Amino acid sequence: MILEQLKTRRKELGLLQKDMLLRVGITRQQYNQLENRGNPRLDTLALLAKGLDMELMLIPKEKLDAVRQILEGGATVTSIGEDNDDGTPLSDDPWRNILEDEK
């Protein structure tokens, strides 16, 4: 799944595999191997993410569904939680408290 996301993002940015040399210092051949069948190390993934204007995140499994809903635009107040203590609606900040422990 990560390799598919890298390829999709590269294409969204209008980049060719050979463009990764200038962005992150990886040759077209190296990048091709990573994108198609590689098992990149974490530091390599971080480098690729930076070059593709992306962020790597570690998400607790129990919060994964909520994060996916937010990313896909299907989050609702009832699916994630109520309004914040300061009264701002969830729609203004869908990420609020998402990674905090449930009480």
CA distance 64 to 60: 6
For residues 81 and 41, membership in a common domain is answered with no
Residue 83 has pLDDT above 50, yes or no: no
For residues 78 and 44, membership in a common domain is answered with no
Which domain range does residue 21 map to? 2-51
CA distance 101 to 41: 29
Query: For residue 40, which amino acid is it?
Result: P
For range 63-85, the mean pLDDT: 66
Give the pLDDT score at 35: 87
Whole-structure pTM value: 0.62
Give the pLDDT score at 77: 46
Give the pLDDT score at 100: 66
Total domain count, the chain: 2
Query: For residue 54, which amino acid is it?
Result: M
For residues 42 and 7, membership in a common domain is answered with yes
Q: State phi, psi for 93 to the nearest 5 degrees.
A: -150, 80
Cβ(3)–Cβ(34) under 8 Å? yes
For residues 84 and 99, membership in a common domain is answered with yes
